[in-house]
């Protein structure tokens, strides 16, 4: 059962990666990137590394998202 859930998480991560790459709206790309980081934290937990999972959730999905949203606010939101 864990391998099925892990496979679903990896497929969702791939979807997020492609969505970030194809997005022309920078804020949407940041939100999807935050979802990717959260899924990566889940994946680390499934692999048995809770310390890395907590760090990924805090830094990847938390701090990095705030910094990127702040950068988007100071620049153009849409790619031309």
* Neighbour-count burial for 41-65, b at 16+ CB within 10 Å, e otherwise: bbbbbeeeeeeebeebbeebbeebb
pLDDT of residue 79: 65
> Distance between CA atoms of 78 and 65, rounded to whole angstroms?
17
* Per-residue model confidence (pLDDT) at position 34: 94
Q: Are 26 and 78 in contact (CB under 8 A)?
A: yes
Per-residue pLDDT tens digits for 56-73: 999 988 899 999 999 999
**Extents of the domains making up the chain:** 2-74
Q: Which residue positions in the chain have pLDDT lower than 70?
A: 79-80
- Side-chain half-sphere exposure of 67, counting CA atoms within 13 A: 7
């Amino acid at each position: 059962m864990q391998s099925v859930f892990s496979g679903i998480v990896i497929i969702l991560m791939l979807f997020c990666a492609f969505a970030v790459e194809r997005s022309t709206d920078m804020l949407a790309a940041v939100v999807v990137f935050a979802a990717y980081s959260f899924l990566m934290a889940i994946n680390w937990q499934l692999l048995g590394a809770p310390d890395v999972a907590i760090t990924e959730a805090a830094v990847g999905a938390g701090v990095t998202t705030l910094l990127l949203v702040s950068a988007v606010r100071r620049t153009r939101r849409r790619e031309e």
